[in-house]
Chain A
């Protein structure tokens, strides 16, 4: 039988509970205590009733909470999908080394840089891929490439001997390479001579717009009109200090009437030093067994007793027999091909070297040269 709590105030109920808990603990006591607690708990909260309008509030709040949660879930799913898709496409665009075209559809790179409009694009991440080459080298993408890109590409770099319209890598139009017919005149004048070195200045005048690039084409011919073994070097201040310093690798764009210039130096090779002929005194008998050598290019000639029929001693090492003969050379300049535009004659005893500058704008003219790329 469960004990009944007395009616009345809290003090009496506490006394009732306390009286039971003061007794020895046993299962029956715990059951009784439990029954008392049940009843006391129910009595304590018996007056509590839900606030009015709670059910209406729950009817509105539950669907609203469900909508908010579904919206949040959808937004999260969309965000996750967008992030993952973006990361996947970015990684694919950055690291895909294959062709950028599949079945005629350009996949390309989502991160194409603004300076690279070629199909396949360029990647801002990682190493350059075939689909995103550096356009400064003009690498074409795919099987087809615009002709302007192809002509300016590194793989099909326009030859200096191929006068064809092209575009420079910087995008400026490139006029045709100059030919002899593009020039109205080429004048060569000697500009100086020091220590045997002769300086010549070539000044040409264009009669049509054309472009000069590279070094001037020089051919050195011998006396018989045959090519001579005279080396031609780029201008060297050590060998030809009077030559101007002209940067190489420039393109010289000429308009009709423009003048261009280049200079060359003819530097003869010093002949080997020849000792003066020795004339033995007549009172001194020729010493036998003391041969002398000459510096002649014909080689040493042993001196001493000769085997001539007159049996007269002759001076050994005759210089007159091996003296170098001054030869005439001509340096021919051709703008393009083998047709000579101008030639200058030089002389040299023991060979020579030619040092030549690059083209440069003739003084007094507006400079229109621009650096070339891809060389």
Chain B
């Protein structure tokens, strides 16, 4: 019994290591495009790994581990943004001479105009664009992951691109 548990734990660790080497970086970048700070990205991806691998027995198809991880990252990113939005509403106004959020270790990403424009569009449009063009998912896969129809994916995509264009024009 103990040996079987140990074996199961070893298998889990091996799968965790394999999944980490194959997908952790891409999932971290996905979270970085959906979120706006590196610390939150790390937290979200780690939590996704912990959740999916802790419930490894419920994942019937091993090939879908990446899909589960990606969906978990999207859901957690959405929850993080929602909590942060509530926190910003309740937080006091910052003083004018306080340092901006763009300053720091993450400023390289923050200086990218496309990333800034991406953060200015609607959350659903941003998710569709990132999943469609960064994760290279098909419209059907994006629709399945977000729980919306393919038509909605197309609509969010086209409107997102238009909104992104408008914002990029503003940076010119």
A residues with a Cβ closer than 8 A to B are 10-11, 13-15, 17-18, 21-22, 30, 33-34, 37-38, 40-45, 47-51, 54-55, 57-59, 61-63, 65-66, 69
Contact = CB atoms under 8 A, between A and B. Distances in A.
A45 B50 contact: no
Contact of A63 (B9, B41, B112, B113): B9
Contacts of A54: 20, 24, 42, 46
Interface of B: 9, 12-13, 16-17, 20, 24-25, 28-29, 32-33, 38, 41-42, 46, 49-51, 53-54, 108-109, 111-115, 117, 129-130, 132-134, 136, 161-162, 164-165, 168-169, 171-172
Contacts of B169: 14, 18
Given A43-B112, A62-B13, 17 more contacts: A14-B168, A17-B114, A18-B165, A33-B161, A37-B129, A37-B161, A38-B134, A40-B114, A41-B130, A45-B32, A48-B28, A48-B38, A50-B28, A55-B17, A58-B49, A58-B50, A65-B51
A43 B115 CA distance: 10
B53 A13 contact: no
A42 B46 CA distance: 21
A37 B168 contact: no
Contacts of A30: 161
10 contacts: A13-B113, A18-B168, A30-B161, A38-B136, A41-B114, A44-B114, A48-B38, A58-B46, A61-B50, A62-B53
B161 A21 contact: yes
B109 A45 contact: yes
Interface of A is mostly: helix
Among A15, A30, A34, A37, max chain B CB count under 10 A is at A37
A191 to B, nearest CB: 95
Contacts of A69: 54
B172 A11 contact: yes
Contacts of B54: 62, 65-66, 69
Given A18-B172, A37-B129, A54-B46, A11 B16 contact: no
Given A38-B136, A44-B115, A58 B16 contact: yes
Contact of B25 (A40, A50, A66): A50
Contacts of A57: 46
Nearest to B136: A38
Nearest to A62: B53
Nearest to B53: A62
Given A11-B171, A18-B165, A45-B109, A62 B129 contact: no
Contacts of A21: 161-162, 165, 168
A62 B42 contact: no
Given A41-B130, A44-B114, A66-B54, A14 B171 contact: yes
A41 B108 CA distance: 13
Contacts of B20: 54-55, 58
B50 A14 contact: no
A63 B161 contact: no
Contacts of A44: 33, 109, 112, 114-115
Contact of A41 (B16, B134, B165): B134
Nearest to A39: B133
A177 to B, nearest CB: 74
A40 B133 CA distance: 10
A50 B26 CA distance: 10
Nearest to B130: A41
A62 B49 contact: yes
A14 B114 CA distance: 7
Contact of A10 (B38, B114, B136): B114
Contacts of A10: 111-114, 171
Contact of B133 (A15, A34, A47, A55): A34
A51 B31 CA distance: 14
B129 to A, nearest CB: 7
B42 to A, nearest CB: 6
B25 A48 contact: yes
Contacts of B112: 10, 40, 43-44
Nearest to A29: B161
Nearest to B42: A51
Contacts of A48: 25, 28-29, 32, 38, 41, 109
